Chain A
Amino acid sequence: MGSENKVKLSVNGLAKQYGAVQALAPTSMDVSEGEFLTLLGPSGSGKTTLLMMVAGLTVPTSGEIWIDGKLSTFLPPYQRDIGVVFQNYALFPHLSVFENIAFPLRMRGMKADDIRTKVSDILSVVDLAQMADRLPKELSGGQQQRVALARCAVYGPSIILMDEPLGALDKKLRDTMQSEIRRLHKALGSTILYVTHDQGEAMSMSDRICVMRNGAIQQIGSPSDLYHNPINKFVGDFLGGATFINCTVEKCDTNTIYLKSEMGSFKAQNQKKLILPHDEPAVCMIRPQAIKISSSKIKEMNSLPAKINESILTGTMTEHHTILGDGSKSSAVEITTQDIQTFENNKKVFVNWSEKNCVIFSGDELK
């Protein structure tokens, strides 16, 4: 999704106020044609509000929505050429699977013969050809989900909005449906705006992720971008989890930041090239796979003393959970091999990481 791609959906200063509560602060972003963009955030972060305003089901307090270069802020939903997959599917309970899927086609005045062909086509795509005459309540959760997808895909809307569509499914079904949705996305080439609070789902499906909190965008970027260069502690924590060490700045130059914590000193590469003042409070974030646990200090690496809380072999990965000197928790993972050892509880160990593999947050980034 390079910059040569056409902008499909553009949101400009869009905001929503419910009385005294600001559900969405003025927000701007662009979604390119064919892109899969996920709105990720905890509940109450404003992601569903944003989605519903794009769908035309919630009226914005201010701002603009442009779809295909056309101002659509106050366009009613039935004139927007969008498709929505709702959280509870919103299948029409009194209509058969066939009639549910045929509904948008009928609304578009399509001929009965064409409707029959189109619906049977999409039914075989989602593997529900035998279920055409069933009522929604006679289907399993996963099948209902597929009907909802089919109903949305059948008329080829140029933007598909999905509001936590997998929220009601169990883990295994979710994984299947994730690849199903990705497959549909590729096959149809449609633009997808997806809402979820599950970071794993967001990372594995999206071209770009928009992390939201308290009704405002925190950061937009590719999954790898967000994972490796989170803009603040919240984003870092929300995507993937990490060890956070409270510290203060001891010394800082354009290459290296020297930091001091209760447990000892360490340093970090100055990725942002900002000169931080002495004694500035900061937090050092280290991803679990960047941490090595050892019985003695490892040379050339940052090292802090810790105590094993639990060390478990979970399968492919082995996890070491430790408690640092200041009482904060830290987790490390490594790939399970023959020579990997687990540690006994309460064993005194060292938490080691390279100065290149950590991110320093300070000032506003700590919030």
Chain B
Amino acid sequence: MSGKLNTKRIFDSLNEGISSKYLLLPIFFFLAVFFVYPVVSMLFISFFDREGSFTFVNYYEIFRGYNLSILLNTLKISGWTTIFTVSLAYPVAYYLSTAAKRNANLLIIIVLLPLWTSVLVRAFAWIVLFGRGGVINSTLAFAGVDPVEILFSYFSVIVAMTHAFMPIAVLSMYATMQNIDGRLKHAAATLGAEPGNVFWRVYFPISFPGVASSALVTFILSVGIFIHPALLGSPKQTMIAQIIIQQVDELFNWGLAAAISVMVMFVSILFIIVFDRLVGVVSITGAQGVGRPSGKIMNTLTGAAGNMAVTLSRLLTIFRSKKAARSSDRISFPIEILSVIILIFLAAPLLFLIPVSFTESPFVEWPPRGFSWQWYERYFTSPVWIEATIRSIIVGIATAFFSLLIGVPAAFSISRGSFKGKGLVLPYILMPLVVPNIIIALAVFYFFSDLGLIGTNLGLTIGHTILAVPYVVLTLVAVLQNYDQQLDHAAWTLGAKPLIAFKRITLPIIKVGFITSFLFAFMRSFDEIAIALFVSSGLQQTLPKKLWSEAHHAISPTLAAVSTILIVIVTVLVVVTELLKRKQK
């Protein structure tokens, strides 16, 4: 009797794949201990003053003139960044999703390159462009125009931030648009809709969840940013994340830092709730694909936009010849031009860093003088730089390994299992994505200082894993959902035991997904600065932290040289993964 029950159990679990909910335990506990507990305990810290007695004073402090103005300033910069990012990313994503397959692959690499290139490196690029002796001002001087102050303004901060977040926005919209059935446009056209109406009444509403999710992600990332206002802004552009760092690093005012963090999280959550009302927050993953653009407001707005577009284009055709009336299938020329310009905006700034790295002059200036390898030499002969690089690589590999270790079982469970409360699992795992990094870093710092993990590679790895594991799970869930489980069934019925079927059928097919998410996690760690800022000590820096502290002193050609090395590495990695993916197909 018990024998039968036993085989039934084994049989059951075999049947659901390797999918029992116990596979979620590692990731559940990991995030509970290292993410949820530290973040929640920050809420407590925010109610205590320096002497350790209960108080509301930290919250009064926030609404005192200076801090409040910085909070509002942060919202302002984040809001504009979000608007620019989304409206520039949309045409590019649209162009990508309608471009011919071969072109699209190349264009995606152009989007991926900046995505994988360190945020810091990309910020340096803008300094090279905007600086007093930078590309733009030198060109102006050459043309006989007086130099203008571009750097240290709202303009430079918002441009650089937009540049920083656009790749993510493009990709998440592209994910949605790829799932839109191209025939819908034809259907609308045959039903009598003119191009303007086809777009506004059919295409745009269906693509809207992608727009919403990229807006949400951009906004949350913007709120937590400190790199751009610090490097490209003046004190006027100070943002809230800088205040958090200042309170901890310089003033040791934990309570206030915690209170500000709680405030920022509150704003983020408010923002998410508003979005949830609008589109349903699940679309944050982008993997959710085409969703429901809800409600009357949406219909009215897109309807009005459609009518306007149609009227406009009719007016225009009065002045133009008949040949302008082309099939709605071909992407229109203006969108093509616009997309190419935006793609240049994405990729080109990085290219200016490369010549600067070979300059003979000790300053970053344009055009670079002469040719020299000295800055590379300085990097390769400096034990501090090399040590930081090696540490970053080690921590990156450890993070990727650890993320896969807990992420793979979770992804299997999510994509194959069915159990009560499954709907809550993915939001739980994705939580670290919607909390600004600087806040996670702060929470982890406080928690780690109790555990003695500050300044250790283990501490860094744990911190980076919190941020990397949601990406790993998302990528793998997507891969596993594309995997046809019937192949396993076929293998079993053909006589393969589950483990052998996994090894010979499942693994070879999903292998590329594993490699991609490993690289994803590695890059996420390799580029991470917020965690390193708090968790690594002055002697044991990671590469981004070293770059950051150098940049704080001055933007030297050494930074350009290191950046160039990073760009080359990223280019190789991106091209290799894309080739791998294509080989798979």
Q: A93–B509 contact, CB under 8 A?
A: yes
Q: B492–A103 contact, CB under 8 A?
A: no
Q: Which of B7-15, B64-72, B216-224, B559-567 sits within the interface?
A: B7-15
Tell me, yes or no, whether A13 is within 8 Å of chain B by CB.
no
Across the A-B interface, the 8 shortest Cβ-Cβ residue pairs: A107-B495, A90-B490, A104-B494, A77-B492, A90-B486, A84-B493, A77-B493, A74-B8
Given A58-B15, A94-B509; A103-B491 close (CB under 8 Å): yes
Q: How far is the CA of A319 from the CA of B509 in the complex (A)?
A: 53
**CB of B501 to closest CB in A, whole Å:** 8
Q: Chain B: interface residue count, which band? A: 20 to 34
Q: Which of A64-99 contact B (CB under 8 A)?
A: 74-78, 80, 82-84, 86, 88, 90-94
Could you tell me which A residues sit within 8 Å of B by CB distance?
A: 55-59, 74-78, 80, 82-84, 86, 88, 90-94, 103-104, 107-108, 151-152, 155, 161
**CB of A117 to closest CB in B, whole Å:** 19
Q: Could you tell me the dominant secondary structure of chain B's interface residues?
A: helix
B497 contact set on A, CB distance < 8 A:
76, 78
Q: B489–A151 contact, CB under 8 A?
A: no
B509 contact set on A, CB distance < 8 A:
92-94
Count of CB-CB pairs between chains A and B under 8 Å: 78
Q: Which of A75, A77, A107, A152 contacts B489 (CB 8 A)?
A: A77
Q: Which of A86, A90, A107 contacts B500 (CB 8 A)?
A: A107
Q: B14–A76 contact, CB under 8 A?
A: yes
Q: How far is the CA of A59 from the CA of B12 in the complex (A)?
A: 7
Q: Which of B12, B494, B498 contacts A151 (CB 8 A)?
A: B494
**CB of B283 to closest CB in A, whole Å:** 28
Q: A90–B495 contact, CB under 8 A?
A: no
B500 contact set on A, CB distance < 8 A:
107
Q: How far is the CA of A327 from the CA of B113 in the complex (A)?
A: 70
Q: Can you list 27 A-B contacts (CB < 8 A)? A: A55-B489, A55-B493, A56-B492, A57-B15, A59-B15, A74-B4, A74-B11, A76-B492, A77-B492, A78-B493, A83-B493, A84-B489, A84-B490, A88-B484, A90-B487, A91-B490, A92-B490, A92-B505, A93-B509, A94-B509, A103-B504, A107-B495, A107-B496, A107-B500, A108-B495, A155-B495, A161-B493
Q: Which of B2-36 contact A (CB under 8 A)?
A: 4, 7-8, 10-12, 14-15
**CB of A108 to closest CB in B, whole Å:** 6
B11 contact set on A, CB distance < 8 A:
56, 59, 74-76
B490 contact set on A, CB distance < 8 A:
84, 86, 90-92
Q: How far is the CA of A108 from the CA of B493 in the complex (A)?
A: 12
**CB of B104 to closest CB in A, whole Å:** 20
Q: B8–A90 contact, CB under 8 A?
A: no
Q: How far is the CA of A151 from the CA of B509 in the complex (A)?
A: 19
Q: How far is the CA of A91 from the CA of B489 in the complex (A)?
A: 11
Among A78, A86, A93: residue with most chain B CB under 10 A: A78
Q: How far is the CA of A297 from the CA of B491 in the complex (A)?
A: 64
Q: Which of B7, B495, B496 contacts A74 (CB 8 A)?
A: B7
* A157 nearest in chain B by CB position: B493
A55 contact set on B, CB distance < 8 A:
489, 493
Tell me, yes or no, whether B508 is within 8 Å of chain A by CB.
yes
B486 contact set on A, CB distance < 8 A:
86, 88, 90
* B6 nearest in chain A by CB position: A74
A155 contact set on B, CB distance < 8 A:
494-495
Q: How far is the CA of A91 from the CA of B14 in the complex (A)?
A: 21
* B501 nearest in chain A by CB position: A78
A91 contact set on B, CB distance < 8 A:
490
Q: B12–A103 contact, CB under 8 A?
A: no
Q: How far is the CA of A39 from the CA of B136 in the complex (A)?
A: 75
Q: A57–B8 contact, CB under 8 A?
A: no
**CB of B545 to closest CB in A, whole Å:** 42
**CB of B563 to closest CB in A, whole Å:** 39
Q: A83–B484 contact, CB under 8 A?
A: no
Given A86-B489, A103-B491; A78-B15 close (CB under 8 Å): no
* B505 nearest in chain A by CB position: A92
Among B12, B490, B508, B509: residue with most chain A CB under 10 A: B490
Q: Which of A56, A74, A93 contacts B493 (CB 8 A)?
A: A56
* B584 nearest in chain A by CB position: A94
Q: Which of A77, A80, A90 contacts B484 (CB 8 A)?
A: A90
Among A55, A57, A82, A151: residue with most chain B CB under 10 A: A57
Q: How far is the CA of A107 from the CA of B493 in the complex (A)?
A: 11
* B492 nearest in chain A by CB position: A77
**CB of A354 to closest CB in B, whole Å:** 50
Q: B8–A59 contact, CB under 8 A?
A: yes
Q: B492–A78 contact, CB under 8 A?
A: yes
Q: How far is the CA of A57 from the CA of B493 in the complex (A)?
A: 9
* A154 nearest in chain B by CB position: B494
* B500 nearest in chain A by CB position: A107
**CB of A86 to closest CB in B, whole Å:** 5
* B11 nearest in chain A by CB position: A74
B15 contact set on A, CB distance < 8 A:
57-59
**CB of A219 to closest CB in B, whole Å:** 29
B12 contact set on A, CB distance < 8 A:
59
In the complex, per-residue mask of B336-378: 1 if CB is within 8 Å of any chain A CB, else 0: 0000000000000000000000000000000000000000000
Q: Which of B4, B487, B498 contacts A92 (CB 8 A)?
A: B487
Q: B494–A103 contact, CB under 8 A?
A: yes
A76 contact set on B, CB distance < 8 A:
10-11, 14, 492, 497-498
Among A104, A108, A155: residue with most chain B CB under 10 A: A104
B492 contact set on A, CB distance < 8 A:
56-57, 76-78
**CB of A259 to closest CB in B, whole Å:** 50
Q: How far is the CA of A278 from the CA of B493 in the complex (A)?
A: 56
Q: How far is the CA of A59 from the CA of B505 in the complex (A)?
A: 23
Q: A82–B496 contact, CB under 8 A?
A: no
**CB of A77 to closest CB in B, whole Å:** 4
A82 contact set on B, CB distance < 8 A:
493
**CB of A264 to closest CB in B, whole Å:** 49
